Amino acid sequence: MPRLRPAAVGLALLVALTGCSGQPEETASRPAGPPAASTRAVDDVCALVPVARLRAAIGADPGAGVPSKGPLNGGQCVWTVSTTRRVLAQYTPQPDVFLPEGVVPRPRSATEVRGATRGFAAGESGTVLVVKDRRGLLLKTVGFDGGDQAAYEALAEAIVANL
Structurally, the chain folds into a number of domains equal to 1
Asked whether residue 64 is assigned to any structural domain, the reply reads yes
What is the C-alpha to C-alpha distance for residues 86 and 32, in angstroms, rounded to an integer? 28
The reply to whether 52 falls in a domain is yes
pLDDT tops 70 at residue 25: no
| Residue 103 placed within a domain | yes
Is 35's pLDDT higher than 60? no
The whole model's pTM is what?
A: 0.76
Domain that holds residue 151: 6-20+48-162
pLDDT tens string 95-114? 999 999 999 999 999 999 99
Checking if the pLDDT of 76 tops 80, the result is yes
Residue 93: inside a domain:
yes
Burial class (CB within 10 angstroms; exposed 0-12, middle 13-18, buried 19+) of 127: buried
Residues 6+ apart with CB under 8 A from 163: 48, 130, 132, 133, 135, 137
Return mean pLDDT, the chain.
Answer: 80
Residue 117 sits at the vertex; the CA angle it makes with 115 and 120, to the nearest 5 degrees, is 80
